[in-house]
Structures are given as C-alpha cells and as structure tokens.
Structure 1
Amino acid sequence: MRHRYSILFFPLHVIVDFLSLNAAFIGAYGIKFGTIDPVFEPPYATLWWVFNLIWLVEILLFKPYIFPRQLFKADHLIKKMFVLMAVHMAVIALYWVAVKGYYYSREHLAITYGIFASLGIAFRIGGLIFLKEYRARGYNNRKYIVVGYGKLATTIRGFYDAHPEMGFHFYGYFDEPTTDTATLLRGGYDQLLDYVRINQIDCVYCCMPYIDNGRLKDIVDDAEEVDYQVKLLVDFRGFLARGASVEYHDILPVLNLSSQMLADFQVNTLKRGFDIAFSLGVLLFGAPVFLLMALITRLTSEGPVLYAQERIGRNGKPFRIYKFRSMYINAETNGPVLSAGNRDGRITSWGWFMRQTRLDELPQFFNVLKGDMSVVGPRPERQFFIDQIVEVAPEYRSLLKVKPGITSIGQIKFGYAANIEEMVQRLRYDLLYPERRSFLFDMWIIAQTVRVMVQGRGK
C-alpha cells in the first residue's frame, strides 16, 4: 500500500490535540490552585468532560485536520487551530451562562487556553519541521507527471521545485512529440498508462490548454483502476486578476469574466459610505483651514481662489475637478502642459507650499461628495494626456473602470508627473490598486498620504 504512513497523520493530530487540551486543563488547575486532585471531582470534572465533548463535536463538524499538502503550512495550521479555539471558548461561555457556573475560575480557563495554544503551536511547528526533514530523506513523497506540454506545465513544475517541503517529485512531461518538444518529453500518450503503472505515479496533472477532452476522459477513466489522482490545470490567472468569479448553474460551473470585484457590495456601498462620511468630516472640521488657505491664495497672487479643470472619471465620464489655485492665471494659454517641477515658473510661491503638502487637493472632497471621485483611487487625468498614455501603455484603460481618487499609490510613491514618461512610471504603481483594493488598503494609503503632507514631501 503506497504511503501507508500518511494515513496516520489524521489520528495522530487528533490524539495530540486531545492530550494537549487535557494536559492544559489539568495543568492550569494545578497552577491556579496548587493541586490537581479536585479537578477529578465535580464541578470541575463536569467542565472537563464538556471541554472534551465540545472539541470532539468541532472535529466532527469542521473536519479541521483534512487538507491538501499545499495548505500544510504553519500559518494555515495555526490559523485553523485559533478558529477552533475561538468557537470552543464561545461555546464554553454559553455553557457557563446556561448552568450559572460562576463558581468556575475565569483565571483557570484563561490559563488553560494559553497552555493549549502554546502546546498546539509547538506541535504544529515541530511536526512541520519533522515532515520537512523526513521528506528531504526521500520518505512520504508523491510522484507526479504533467500531461500536455507548454508554459502552464512548466509553471506547476516550478512551483513544486520551489517548495520541496511538500514532497512532490517530478517524473516527466507527456504529450504528442513534435520536433521542438521531443527531447523534453518522457513519452507520448501511448506510453502514459504503462509508465504510471511501472513507476507508481500518484498524481497526473492535465493542462487543459494542451490536451483534448477525449484524451482527458481516457486518463480519468484509467485513474480508478491504476490508482492515481487526476488534477486539471486551467490558466485563469489573467482573468482572476481582474476579479473573475465562478458561478454554478445547477451543477454546471461557469466562469464569469466580468469584473466582479468592481461591482461588489463592498465597493458600491461600504466604500461610498466611507467616502461620504470622511469627506463630510474633512469639510466640516477643516472649514477654518479652508478659509485660511483661500485667504492666503487670494492675497499672494491675482486670480480666483479655486481652479476648475475637466478630468476623465470612471468609465470615461468627464467631470470638473476642483483645487486651490497653485499657478498664476493664464498658465496654459498655449495649451495643456504638465508641471515641470522645480523649474516651473508658472507656480506661485504659496502654490509650491500647497503642492508639497498636498493642501491644494483639499477642495476635491467636494468632488467626492458629488460622487465624481473617491478618497482613494488612481489620479484622474485629462483626455489630452490619456490619449498619449494609452499609446505607450494600453493597460491604462483598466484604471478607467474604477472611480478616481484624491490620493493613490502613485501619488505617494511617485508624486506629480512632469511628462508622459513619468506619467507612465506613476501608472505602474496605480495599476496595483484595482487588484488589491480593500478597506484596510485604503486606510494604509490615507495614512501614508497624511505622512507625506506632514513631512512636506509632495512633489
């Protein structure tokens, strides 16, 4: 029987956790009360049985010790343990209230969970270290082949080569040989089944772009007889990065290539709610600052306090963006021109200070309230410059799928751009946002923006 010792991992895991739980319960009682004899008598004996019963029910319901090798990692195992502990603590709390068990020591319970967590973490990390060494010596390994040669086939091999601790050993590629691939293949489809039998291959990865359904069906049909696993490799990476999702029409899986991420509840509702609340707070509590800046802008140079300009928003919709004026009037009489940085004589002295501290952007919170912009999002540009950017970097169009923002990764890491080349460089940062967008990521960007403002590092 292949890998006969692997079957022992599950019961061993269960036994060690039960031993750890009971040792923690008894040990905590001894630490708290200086003796362990009363723990075997009511009422603590009852609580002890309840502890074990709840943990057993959790194991039966959640099956926490069954996962593939790819998830057999310290962070995943420890996270799973803490989830089980949280559920266990919640149920114990309900039991405490139900039986009015105020005579139980809360300190004893806290020590119990502390010891149990320590033992559980130590066992899991120790077990992983042991497995890594055990597999490095050639034990508890899995043999795999890849059917259908191409870029995706080499990717899965590269993954397992980079993670030897998983214990997967590569035994060759199989495909119809061609002039270019003949030397790279272990064999063709005719030799596949015999090779699997002779070498006791555990897993056959089938790359869907390079194998037809007929051959795939034969491989699947033979799997039960020859005893190997079949796993499909489908290259969805380019789609999933854009927020694609899987829908089920009855039992038929359908890949939705529409950008689900851009239309989900969090983006449309929670993010908009935060934008409104944050903008109102800035406008209300920052009103004295707005008035002071308006006054200084008015006194330091001729012209209006605010500057309005057409920008392109989500889905290519134009809108008027507002800023405190940082340049002299008629700065673009000869057409659209980007700021030349320190060499730009169109910017006023007060305007330089506002740009370095990003205070000139504050009126854009009115744009946020109107719904044209968000607090966090890629900076909106003028159509004149978008046309030039797209010629160099067509991927810029993906940024038009999200609402533009007052601040962005590009503004933090790069700042203002003086030419198209620098705008493309800043674009590389902003392209990260649609893929990583979340509430916590927005908070991080806002915090970094405040730091730039306080340090006066805007450029």
Structure 2
Amino acid sequence: MKHRFSFLLRPFSATMDIISLDICFALAYRLKFGTTASLFDAPYISLFWFINAAWFLILLLNKPYNFSRLTFTIQNLLVGLAKLIGLHIAMVSVFWVFTKGGFDYSREQLALTYVLFLCAGSLWRSVVLILLKVYRAMGYNTRRFVVVGYGPLSRSIQTFYQMYPEIGFKFYGYFDKMNAENATALRGDYSYLKEFITRNEIDCVYCCLPYIETEQLRDIMNFSEEASYQVKLIVDFKGFLTKGVTVEYHDVQPVISLSTHYLDDLQVNVFKRAFDIAFSASVLAAGAPFFLIIALITKFSSKGPAFYSQERIGKWGKPFRIYKFRSMYPDAERGGPALSSGDNDDRITPWGQFMRKTRLDEFPQFYNVLKGDMSVVGPRPERQYFINQIVEKSPEYKYLLMVKPGITSIGQIKFGYAENVEQMVQRLWYDLEYLQNVSLSTDVWLIVQTVRVMVQGRGK
C-alpha cells in the first residue's frame, strides 16, 4: 500500500486531543469542586460543549497536524500545541464575556484545565513521536526514494538519510547516464527510471540540477502526476549551505542570502562553548582514576611514553597540539606522515588496537577542549600534509575549517579512521552535514552515538 497508513496520523491526533481535553476538563472540575456529579448540569454543560466545538473549529481552520517527516520533531509538536491552546483560550474568553451575565465559571477550574491539557498533550505527542521514530528506524513505515543525477551532491542526500534512519527514508538507487566511471554505482539509466519507479512504488525522486538536463527534469515532473510521487530539486549550493543560508522576501520575490550567520549565532558561540567546558571538566574530573589506569597500561604494555602529541590544524587553519594516549610504537612515522591501515597496521600496539576500537585513546583531548583548541563535537582535525591532498580532490574541505575540530563527529561515527586520502574525502561528506545542523541537540545525539560505539567496540 503506497501511503502505509500515515494518513491515519491526523485523525488519530485530533481524536487524542479531544479526548485529552475532555478528560482534563473533568479532572480539573473534580479537583476544584471535589465531585463531577454536576459537571453536565448548567452552566458547565454549555462550557463543556463550547470547548469541544471551539477545538474542532481551530483544527478545521489551522490544520495543525500537517507535518512532514523532516519537521515532525518534538519542538515543532510542542510549539504547535502551545499555539492551539493559545487560540482556544482566546475563543473561550470571548465565550465567557458573552455569557458572563447569566453564568459564572471558575477561573481556577479553567486555568487548571489548560495546565493539565498542556501536560497531557505534550506527553502523548512525545510518546507517539518516540515510538514512531523507533518504528521507522527499525525499517518500517518507510518512504522510498531514488536520486537522479550522480555525483558528490547527490551522495549527500543518501548520507543524510543514513545518518537519521528515524526519519524513515529508504534509498533505492541512483539514476544517470551510464559511463565507465559511474556504471557500478548506478541502479540504471534514464530509460529504466519510469519502469523502476512504477514497479517499486517510489515515493520521492530527488533531482540534482548540476547533473540533470532540463528536458529530463520536465519529463520526471510530468510523470509524477501519473505515478504519484514527489519531485524534489537539489541545487548546487553545497559550499554555500555549509556557511548558512537564509531566505529574505523582497515584496513577493524570495531572495537567498548566503552568509556565515551560524558563526555569529549565540547558541554556537556561547551555549556550545559553555557545554564544551562543563562536559569536558566533568569527564576529566570523574574519569581521572580511570585515565590514570589507562596511562599506566599504555606505559608498561610497550616501550614509549603514555601520551602522544602531534600538530593538527584547527579553526581558520590555526595549528595546535593534539593529545592522545599513545596507541603506536615509538617512531612509527620515521618514514614520513602516514595514515593507519587499520587492524593490519603493525605499527599499532595490541593495547593500542583495543583503545582505538573503544576510542579510549581520544580521552586526553578533553584537555584540548578546555584550552579552546577543540570542541567535544566537530569535524576531526587533520595534519596540513593531508589537508593539502584532500583539498586537491575536494575543495569543500576548507569549510570544515570554519568551526572548531572535535573529539567525535558524524564522520568518526559513521565512517571511522581513514586509511588513505580517498577515505578522508568520503568521510568529509559526513562531516559537512554537521555544519548544516550545528546545535546542542545534535551534539548530544552524537555523543550518545559515540558512547554506543565505545561500548560495542566498533571503532575503526
């Protein structure tokens, strides 16, 4: 079935709100008067029917349950609930003014009704949201999508939905003109696209404008009416989007403003830094005995110091010294800068292999965070030697230097340690996604994911 019962979410939400509102009204009456025996007698029976009618009218006029999967967040749900309650209070106030001469209602009972309803509405919304996201993350209630036009920009869409499986979008392949370079990555060419969309009941087609011609785009849009799928355009704003984009309206004309507004954002410059300091100080203080044990094991399990430092490149290209627990034998890079080749790298000590899989070697970097060289969450810092090679292959890397590097990142979680420059470029696209979602909530989510990697020993 194409829509997979998502259409039931709106009537379910409306029903839950009406039931919650009536229960809260009755409960507030009971708490105020000690009984509900006269709840359905005059004058409260009139008020009871009016609050229900007013809520139905608000739902009809505002259609408050129309959220896309990307905007279906707890913040939007609670803000929407608060707006509905505000409108409802206004309508009830008008009703009260017109009936004041004949009826006298309790202000305390009404106020308590709205307080209880706000709590009940917030609770059921939160529970439904969590259950639905878990359900979608497990692979159910998914939306199927394909990407037309293959290249770095189109790969970022697949990366985004891999990062957030709770949104429930399932990738079904790339389509483009076949050539020797992309043949292995494509599901098919344009001639196969319509048949594939129909047979697999595709819900959404992303079209990358840099890689698709106007005629092909028009054909896809025309066919969408017949096959009932959405068409979404991806514009080549990758470099600009990492800086931040706002839309201004000059009368009715939308104008895209390209700027680094997030760099001046209070949340980034103040709240994120405050979180970094508080979190790092807590980790270093609480984990001090544990870190001492790690340092002793590192020291006595192989020759060399317990700690290792190296110059890395930070925000705006400023070099700094990064600190780690040593995971390699001394003089591991006497032949020149080299990346680790993973489990097959004989430069890594046995204890170092364990630390890398559990990320224990990264803990001394919390000291870098306190110094201000790094953040808890941010793109991983690299050496200038490798940055020069990455920029040659993917100039977008320079945008990562606009923020402080971090101990953990999306790339570190989803990809892990890179064994060569090509893998560094692949990891780059994960980290570029972070620049579009810099927030405390994203940081907390990535920290939780990092802890899971550490506990499971899945670091690579």
Q: TM-score range by the shorter chain?
A: 0.5 to 0.7
Query: Residue 153 of structure 2 aligns with which residue?
Result: none
Equivalent residue pairs, number: 338
Give the Cα–Cα distance (whole angstroms) in 2 for the partners of residues 39 and 325 of structure 1: 74
Of the two, which has the highest radius of gyration? Answer: 1
The residue type equivalent to 2:42 in the other structure is: E
Partner deviation per Cα, 1:73-115 (whole Å, 9 max, x = no partner): 79989959745444367779999xx9444499969x869x88x
Q: Give the direction of change, closer, same or farther, for the CA distance of 1:352–1:99 in structure 2 (3 Å limit).
A: same
TM-superposed deviation, 1:46 = 4.2
Query: Residue 334 of structure 1 aligns with which residue?
Result: 335
SS at match of 1:41: coil
Equivalences for residues 152-171 of structure 1 within 5 A: 155=217, 158=220, 161-162=223-224
The residue type equivalent to 1:369 in the other structure is: L
Equivalent residues of 1:248, 1:254 under 8 A apart: yes
TM-superposed deviation, 1:253 = 7.3
Q: Give the direction of change, closer, same or farther, for the CA distance of 1:90–1:362 in structure 2 (3 Å limit).
A: farther
Equivalent residues of 2:51, 2:92 under 8 A apart: no
Q: Give the direction of change, closer, same or farther, for the CA distance of 1:156–1:260 in structure 2 (3 Å limit).
A: farther
TM-superposed deviation, 1:372 = 1.0
Alignment RMSD, CA only? Answer: 5.0
Query: Residue 245 of structure 2 aligns with which residue?
Result: 244
The residue type equivalent to 1:265 in the other structure is: L
TM-superposed deviation, 1:325 = 1.1
Q: Give the direction of change, closer, same or farther, for the CA distance of 1:379–1:86 in structure 2 (3 Å limit).
A: same
Percent of matched pairs sharing the same residue: 49
Give the Cα–Cα distance (whole angstroms) in 1 for the partners of residues 53 and 439 of structure 2: 39
Partner deviation per Cα, 1:418-451 (whole Å, 9 max, x = no partner): 2222222222322222123332222222112111
TM-superposed deviation, 1:256 = 2.9
Query: Residue 380 of structure 1 aligns with which residue?
Result: 381
The residue type equivalent to 2:294 in the other structure is: M
Query: Residue 281 of structure 1 aligns with which residue?
Result: 282
Equivalent residues of 2:411, 2:431 under 8 A apart: yes
TM-superposed deviation, 1:36 = 10
Give the Cα–Cα distance (whole angstroms) in 1 for the partners of residues 219 and 262 of structure 2: 30
Query: Residue 452 of structure 2 aligns with which residue?
Result: 451
The residue type equivalent to 2:86 in the other structure is: V
Whether 1:324 and 2:325 are equivalent positions in the alignment is: yes
Query: Residue 362 of structure 1 aligns with which residue?
Result: 363
Equivalent residues of 2:244, 2:262 under 8 A apart: yes
Equivalent residues of 1:338, 1:418 under 8 A apart: yes
TM-superposed deviation, 1:23 = 13
Q: Give the direction of change, closer, same or farther, for the CA distance of 1:88–1:22 in structure 2 (3 Å limit).
A: farther
Equivalent residues of 1:245, 1:255 under 8 A apart: yes
The residue type equivalent to 2:391 in the other structure is: V
Give the Cα–Cα distance (whole angstroms) in 1 for the partners of residues 312 and 386 of structure 2: 10
Query: Residue 263 of structure 1 aligns with which residue?
Result: 264
Equivalent residues of 1:306, 1:322 under 8 A apart: yes
Give the Cα–Cα distance (whole angstroms) in 2 for the partners of residues 74 and 452 of structure 1: 27
SS at match of 2:276: helix
SS at match of 1:431: helix
SS at match of 1:319: strand
The residue type equivalent to 1:87 in the other structure is: G
SS at match of 1:39: coil
Query: Residue 144 of structure 1 aligns with which residue?
Result: none
Partner deviation per Cα, 1:167-221 (whole Å, 9 max, x = no partner): 99xxxxxxxxxxxxxxxxxxxxxxxxxxxxxxxxxxxxxxxxxxxxxxxxxxxxx
Equivalent residues of 2:25, 2:110 under 8 A apart: no
SS at match of 1:256: strand
Query: Residue 210 of structure 1 aligns with which residue?
Result: none
Q: Give the direction of change, closer, same or farther, for the CA distance of 1:153–1:441 in structure 2 (3 Å limit).
A: farther
TM-score after normalising by structure 1: 0.59
TM-superposed deviation, 1:349 = 2.0
Q: Give the direction of change, closer, same or farther, for the CA distance of 1:408–1:24 in structure 2 (3 Å limit).
A: closer
Give the one of 62, 65, 70 matched to 1:64. 62
Give the Cα–Cα distance (whole angstroms) in 2 for the partners of residues 271 and 339 of structure 1: 31
Query: Residue 143 of structure 2 aligns with which residue?
Result: none
Give the Cα–Cα distance (whole angstroms) in 2 for the partners of residues 416 and 276 of structure 1: 26
Q: Give the direction of change, closer, same or farther, for the CA distance of 1:24–1:160 in structure 2 (3 Å limit).
A: farther
Query: Residue 422 of structure 2 aligns with which residue?
Result: 421
Deviates more, 1:33-42 or 1:372-381: 33-42
Gaps of 5+ in 2: 1-9, 97-104, 126-211
TM-superposed deviation, 1:64 = 2.2
SS at match of 1:326: coil
SS at match of 2:376: strand
Q: Give the direction of change, closer, same or farther, for the CA distance of 1:160–1:39 in structure 2 (3 Å limit).
A: farther
TM-superposed deviation, 1:301 = 2.3
Equivalent residues of 1:26, 1:39 under 8 A apart: no
Give the Cα–Cα distance (whole angstroms) in 1 for the partners of residues 428 and 384 of structure 2: 15
Deviates more, 1:287-296 or 1:84-93: 84-93
SS at match of 2:327: coil
Partner deviation per Cα, 1:322-352 (whole Å, 9 max, x = no partner): 0011112222222211112223222222212
Equivalences for residues 126-165 of structure 1 within 5 A: 155=217, 158=220, 161-162=223-224
Equivalent residues of 1:279, 1:369 under 8 A apart: yes
SS at match of 1:309: strand
TM-superposed deviation, 1:376 = 1.0
SS at match of 2:449: helix
TM-superposed deviation, 1:27 = 13
Equivalent residues of 1:324, 1:362 under 8 A apart: yes
Query: Residue 128 of structure 1 aligns with which residue?
Result: none
SS at match of 2:269: helix
Equivalent residues of 1:315, 1:402 under 8 A apart: yes
Q: Give the direction of change, closer, same or farther, for the CA distance of 1:425–1:234 in structure 2 (3 Å limit).
A: closer
The residue type equivalent to 1:41 in the other structure is: A
The residue type equivalent to 2:374 in the other structure is: M
TM-superposed deviation, 1:247 = 5.0
Gaps of 5+ in 1: 1-12, 119-149, 169-232
Give the Cα–Cα distance (whole angstroms) in 1 for the partners of residues 223 and 383 of structure 2: 47
Partner deviation per Cα, 1:150-180 (whole Å, 9 max, x = no partner): 9578657745754679999xxxxxxxxxxxx
Equivalent residues of 1:314, 1:403 under 8 A apart: yes
Give the Cα–Cα distance (whole angstroms) in 2 for the partners of residues 419 and 354 of structure 1: 21
Q: Give the direction of change, closer, same or farther, for the CA distance of 1:249–1:333 in structure 2 (3 Å limit).
A: same
SS at match of 2:334: coil
Give the Cα–Cα distance (whole angstroms) in 1 for the partners of residues 448 and 323 of structure 2: 22
